[in-house]
Structure 1
Amino acid sequence: MHVITLNGFPRNEIYILKSLIAWPHVYVHIRKPTVSEKDYERILSVFSLEERLRLIAHQFSTLSRENGVPHLHLSTAGRNQVAINEQRLYTSTSTHSWGEFNALGPGFKMAFVSPVFPSISKKGYGVDHCLPLLGRTNRFTSAIALGGINADRLQRMDSHTFNDFALCGGLWEASDPIREARDCYESQTEWINKKVTF
């Protein structure tokens, strides 16, 4: 299971993230596109060196590596700007269609594929263009379902198409984020047991 931070600072965010990262096979994506480098470093500093091994940084790649975060995420736009030979530094990337996902080279360990369902945190996004649940041909890269994921919708997804899933709005807009995460975690034990190895 992957957890993605919101751009702002939700109440009890660090407590929630540290609680979830203690569970086996949970990875936390630190995605804060508008924060300063200093604030990003401050966020990383609240995690122990062991916890940082399961963080995936979406910004400030040099700073993140210097702070013990080995996994980096490359956005779609970033992927088009980074030379192919430099992409090997990145663990994950973002895609928005099966065609885009299937065209990835074997260098990426995993990639978000979105939107699977209408977004919960970005109102209106994905309403008219959700991905079909079939269409994957790339087996080199682990497919991480993203977009509108919550415990109810997980039941409608095919664990043979996706290797794992990511929570964002479904987690942060829940009345009890940790309970929502646990419901997702426990309802898809067969996915969680398919550990994404880096």
Structure 2
Amino acid sequence: MCDLGLQTLHLRKPGWSRDKYAAYIEQIQPNNRRRVVLHDWHELASTLHLKGIHYTERNRPAAPIQHHPPLTISTACHSLQQLAAGFGAVDYVLLSPIFDSISKEGYKAAYPEPDALKQAVRSAGVPVIALGGVGPSNLQFACDLGFAGVAVLGAVWQAVDPVQAFVAIARACQEPD
């Protein structure tokens, strides 16, 4: 997928040990490691020359996040109130669930008022990435809401052919408005 345009891969493997994370990452070609963002074992990001680190709600510091050059820093939030509050020196925020989840049954879209969502995204002061139920059919709507990008999970990893699903999403992202 890196050869087909994948910009960032968020690596989240709950319960994996530090050694298992490191062994997995070492299987990734060195030039593609610069696309990997870690959700756990953040110290590996520098030693393995990765793109960055991600703070989940579980591991986000209570104090404002400090920047860690040259790593990118991201975090996630699940409400417009959290988004408005800010998190410190982050490069981008994942906001979810924007649409009904594909990978989590019963995890419904949390933002029924598109105008309020659009205003919150545009006034966040940091790029906001749409997460939750994102697929080819709703990419344009995410763009219309002002999101800086999209993150996909179920649309790719639950597809019969994940690579082909990724290609379809990448093509949809490149299509003119």
Compute the TM-score of the two structures, normalised by the length of structure 1. Answer: 0.76
Do 1:150 and 1:184's aligned partners in 2 also have CA atoms closer than 8 Å? yes
Aligned length: 169
| CA deviation profile, 1:55-82 (whole Å, cap 9, x unmatched) | 1111101123211114000112322x35
Deviation, structure 1 residue 155: 3.5
The aligned counterpart of 1:21 is 2
Partners of 1:91 and 1:132 in 2: CA distance: 29
User: Per-residue deviation at 1:158?
Assistant: 3.1
Given that 2:143 and 2:149 are in contact with CA atoms closer than 8 Å, whether structure 1 keeps it comes out as no
Gap change, CA 1:131 and 1:167, over 3 Å in 2:
farther
Residue 105 of structure 2: which of 114, 123, 138 is its match? 123
Instruction: Give the corresponding residue for 1:177.
Output: 162
> Does the CA contact (< 8 Å) of 2:5 and 2:170 recur in 1?
no
Corresponding residue for residue 80 of structure 2: 98
Match of 1:59 in 2: 40
Shift of 1:159: 4.0
- Greater RCO between the two (CA within 8 Å, min separation 6)? 1
Shift of 1:161: 1.2
| Residues 106 and 64 of structure 1: CA distance in aligned 2, closer, same or farther (over 3 Å) | closer
**Is the Cα contact below 8 Å between 1:97 and 1:131 reproduced in 2?**
no
Percent identity reads 25
CA RMSD of superposed structures (Å): 2.2
4+ runs of 1 displaced by more than 6 Å? none
Moved more, 58-67 or 21-30: 21-30
Equivalent-residue separation in structure 2 for 1:138 and 1:72 (angstroms): 24
* Aligned-residue offset at 1:25: 5.6
Aligned with 1:87: secondary structure? coil
Structure 1 unaligned blocks of 5 or more:
1-19, 192-198
1:83 corresponding residue in structure 2? 63
More deviation, 94-103/50-59: 94-103
* TM-aligned CA deviation for residue 175 of structure 1: 1.7
